[in-house]
Amino acid sequence: MTEPYWLSGGFRPFFLLGALAMAASVLAWIPVALGGIELPTAFGPRDWHVHALLFGGLMAIIAGFALTAVANWTGRPAVAGRELFTLVLLWAAGRIAVTTSAWIGASAAATVDILFPVALTCVFAREVIAARNLRNLRIVAIVGALGIADIGFHMEAQLTGTADTSTRVAISLALLLVMLVGGRIIPAFTRNWLVARKATLLPAAFSRLDAASVVVGIIALGAWTVAPQHVLTATLLSAAASLSAVRLARWRGLQTRSEPLLLILHVAFATIPLGFAAVALAILVPDSVDPTAAVHLWTVGTFGSITLAVMARASRGHSGQPLKAGRLEIGMFVLVFAGAAARFAAPYAEGWMVHTLSCAGLAWAAAYLLFAAGYGRMLLVRPRLP
């Protein structure tokens, strides 16, 4: 029996679910933060918001990307049908369990929630190992580590009331994933696009500078995870910012300005060194840069822009659509960056802080809802044959 079209590839259900979950993580958070509603979760309001974003929406989008990319990497059939449906059900069960954890108990909710990252890691690892595609085991390891961070999030929240360290672990792992995968696909896509246009200045090949950028980034994020206020951490973050910026500059992003669907990948990656620099300044000169605002350059800026860019490009490519941005895509990108800019500016808005935060959340969520509205049919419904 042929599986439903929407279960023919991991990106189809998970990109749509991830986009809706990313929007919900903010749209529900705004009235909760304003005291208008109270969710039946054992998490504190801030931790529910963080968990919904990092381990709900972002994890779904990572799943969609990983399950789709692994078929390209290995040449094996895509994970589809009943197995994919089971993963979708596990993800949905985790979201319901976390949101209703005050009713079912924190431990029970944690048990249900971690089933999805464990199952995803096992499926991902099976595909990579079966094809002996050992190079990509490091990507599998990061996905698995995110599952461990999820377990740590639940434990830390129950023991201390706030999951601070595990939040930094999850952010660091997600950034590492962007640095590794982005460092592979962004220059490759750019090179292909420029070669097709007979350009002579092409992205630099992977070199020791790229490796050093990733290594220093890992060390800096590790230091930030365990010692977020230490001067040495700020020094390492500053070095990571410089190396990441130089690495990005070698990819010839400005030459892609005539194609927004490609340019956005470069702009999204640029938020990584920007975040490194801002977090370093927040440590060294806390009166000049708000620490929470600095971290949101990553969580709102990097994760928001890179997920929308990758989802749009992959959805179009795997659905036989041209890899070109139209008004829909440009609208998404404008909204997500408007949300990131407003979230960074909110602590400095004085009496307008609450309004600025609300506007930031609404703009950011609108970007994902625009994706869901514009790409939902493409993802879920088989196109009619001419």
Q: Residue 385's pLDDT is what?
A: 54
Q: Helix 58-74 and helix 164-196: axis angle, to 10°?
A: 50
Which pTM value belongs to this model?
A: 0.95
Spell out the per-residue pLDDT of the chain, length 386, in tens: 577 889 989 999 999 999 999 999 999 988 888 877 889 999 999 999 999 999 999 999 999 999 998 988 888 888 889 999 999 999 999 999 999 999 999 999 999 999 999 999 999 999 999 888 888 899 999 999 999 999 999 999 999 989 999 999 999 999 999 999 999 999 999 999 999 999 989 999 999 999 999 999 999 999 999 999 999 999 999 999 999 999 999 999 999 999 999 999 999 999 999 999 999 999 999 888 999 999 999 999 999 999 999 999 999 998 889 899 899 999 999 999 999 999 999 988 888 888 899 999 999 999 999 999 999 999 998 877 55
Q: Residue 386's pLDDT is what?
A: 56
Under 8 Å between Cβ of 68 and 11: yes
Listed residue (185, 332, 180) closest to 251, CA to CA? 185
Q: Residue 135's pLDDT is what?
A: 86
Under 8 Å between Cβ of 130 and 146: no
Q: How far apart are CA 97 and CA 105, in angstroms?
A: 9
- Structural domain spans, the chain: 1-162, 164-381
User: What are the tens digits of pLDDT across the range 292-322?
Assistant: 999 999 999 999 999 999 999 999 998 889 8
Q: Residue 1's pLDDT is what?
A: 54
User: What are the tens digits of pLDDT across the range 74-107?
Assistant: 888 888 899 999 999 999 999 999 999 999 999 9
Q: How far apart are CA 178 and CA 35, in angstroms?
A: 35
